[in-house]
Amino acid sequence: MYTEHASFRRATLGAGGHKGRRSFVAGLVTAGWVASGAAAWAQEGAPPAKAGGADAAQAQKDSKDSKASEPVTPTLGPPTPGPSETEKELVEAQKKAIDAQKALEATQADLKASLEALAAELGAEREQRAEEVVALQEKLAKAQAALKKPPVSTAQPGVALTGYVQADWRIWGQSSEDQINPSTLAPVNEERFMIRRARLKTTIDREYVAGALEFDGNTVNGTTARIVNAEASFKLPGEEGSPVPLLMASIGLFKIPFGFELLQSDRDRVFLERSTAEQALFPGEYDLGARLSGGWRFVRYAVAVMNGDPLGEKAYPGRDPNAAKDIVGRLGVETPIVDTVSVAAGFSGLTGKGFHRGTPATKSVIQWSDRNEDGIFTSDEIAAVPGSAATPSQNFSRFAWGADLNLQVTIPDIGVATAYGELYYAKNLDRAKVVADPLGPLGRDARELGFYVAGLFEFQKIATVGVRYDTYNPDRDSTNPTKPLIPTDLSYGTLSVVAVVGTPMARLQLEYDHNTNHSGRDLMGRPANLKDDTLIVRGQVAF
């Protein structure tokens, strides 16, 4: 029996190979061996009922062994005296030993079956693990290959490459017409496909140094490629986990730190364009200068010294015709109120000098005008106009104040609701819409006022709907009777409704804009609203 257990144990060990399993099997075998040994001991070691001593016990044992090993044959003849008590006990013990033997064999069979099942299970597990190892090796090989040849290589660590494309289809433009502007020869039609923005940005963000370089391509006025953001920064990191540095000093071309929507990323903004007031006061959003910015806990700040000629300005975009610089900044807070509500708010200000362009000198000229339309020159049909000296360029003061508020409420399992708005109050700052110049023919300051309010609801980060109303008055004094401006009401207004499917990484936007203005003419030639509603669909993909 021991030999049988030993051979089984060897077989198990040979088939195994895993140390744990081997120990387990060895344990089972040992337990089986101990159990069988105990049974054998119970069979062999049962004490004699009446033992006279060690010799008697030995004799009794020898006798039992010999009898147990010999078959019992019935004998004929005179009845023999019945078995003695000792013999009866021996028979009884023998029966018990046989029963114990059978029980032991049964136990052995069970153990064997269990071991075989265990072996089968271990084999299956081994095969599964082998397959997993192969799969992991394949993944490792792929990862190593990817590390050997990264998609974009950089000279320094901490470099990121991002970008996005915004492709528009202006489905409907009420003021579009299949004509050209006779003055500029530019097409009047705006119902077209257009790449509104195609941005590629590289940033580096290390512990004490940061930088950005961004290029923009678009087809707004034909194919254009230009630089929009290039800045070098030195910074002091903020507290652990803070999204902004404690202090960052930057120089270069960056967004003017004024208000909320101006600094909001074009990629994240749900509405296709910024409000009219922003487009008039800060056209192009980017300007050249130096900036200090940062934050501490919930406080956010930025102050910059800038040229004052943003990239979208009509007169000198990206240049600076005067030595005076604009000083602009924002101070605000950004913090959650409770778990589901957060608020961001701030005040902004700007002060600087605008530029009134001088005019060159002219020469004296004469002009013939065929007044009586007879095609013949007569002396009274000429006009002589003397030349004029050049007029010098001059600077004028301008400023702006702004306030912004953004409230965001997270509704669990449904989405996020956002309400926000902004107010602009400025003097002589319009640089794109109705360009302010108090030193021009008007001869007085232009006081601008604009605001917008907007609401957004984002469903499960999949779909967003929003509505925004903005208005802008480039000259609040246009009704001044001593300096009447034509038209007397210069306000622009836009009501925008937008629906978005997707996230900023990939989304489809549909926006309807109802625009009011004063670009049309009534029957008398007076300024009137020009119908200019638009319907635009935009596809955006970012990486």
Partner 1 sequence: MRSASLFALLVALPVGMAAGCGGAAPQSGITAWLRVSNGQYEPGALSIDPGMMEPTVDTITTHNNHVFPGATGRSITGSVNGKAVAVMIGLDGDSGHWLVPVGVPDFDITGNFTFAASVSYSPDLPIGTRKLQFRGIDVDGNLGPIQSLALSVGITSPQGNLVVQLDWDTEADLDLHLRIDPPDPAAKPIDVWNRAPLALPPAPNGGTYSQMDTKAAGRLQFDSNANCVIDGQRHEEVVFPMAVPPGTYEVRVDTFSLCGEATARWHVAAFTNPAGTPTLIQEAFGQSQDRDTLAAHDATSGVLAFSFTQP
Chain residues binding partner 1 by CB under 8 A are: 179, 181-184, 188, 314-315, 357-365, 367, 369, 371-374, 378, 380, 383, 385-393, 434-435, 437, 440-442, 483-487, 519, 521, 524-527, 530
> Among residues 154 and 359, whose Cβ is nearest to partner 1?
359
> Among residues 61 and 371, whose Cβ is nearest to partner 1?
371
Least CB distance to partner 1 at residue 319 (A): 14
* Own/partner long-range contacts of 25-30 (Cβ < 8 Å, ≥24 apart): 25/115, 25/118, 28/111, 28/114, 28/115, 29/5
> Among residues 75 and 379, whose Cβ is nearest to partner 1?
379
> Among residues 137 and 181, whose Cβ is nearest to partner 1?
181
Least CB distance to partner 1 at residue 390 (A): 6
Tokens representing residue 62 in the block = 């020898």
Least CB distance to partner 1 at residue 448 (A): 13
> Among residues 188 and 344, whose Cβ is nearest to partner 1?
188
From CA 279, how far away is CA 312, in angstroms rounded? 8
Question: Burial, 348: exposed, middle or buried (Cβ in 10 Å; 0-12, 13-18, 19+)?
Answer: buried
From CA 209, how far away is CA 266, in angstroms rounded? 25
> Among residues 250 and 478, whose Cβ is nearest to partner 1?
478
Least CB distance to partner 1 at residue 437 (A): 6
> Quick check: 2 and 40 in contact, CB under 8 A?
no
Least CB distance to partner 1 at residue 215 (A): 25
- 3-state DSSP call for residue 244? coil
> Among residues 239 and 374, whose Cβ is nearest to partner 1?
374
> Among residues 487 and 539, whose Cβ is nearest to partner 1?
487
Tokens representing residue 509 in the block = 């936007």
Measure the CA angle with vertex 274, ends 503 and 341; round to 5°: 55
How far is CA 508 from its chain centroid?
Answer: 17
Measure the CA angle with vertex 420, ends 414 and 421; round to 5°: 160
Amino acid at 355: F
User: Which among 212, 217, 246 has a CA at the least distance from the CA of 229?
Assistant: 212
> Quick check: 259 and 454 in contact, CB under 8 A?
no
Least CB distance to partner 1 at residue 534 (A): 15
Q: Rounded to a whole number, what is the distance in angstroms from the first to the last CA of the chain?
A: 73
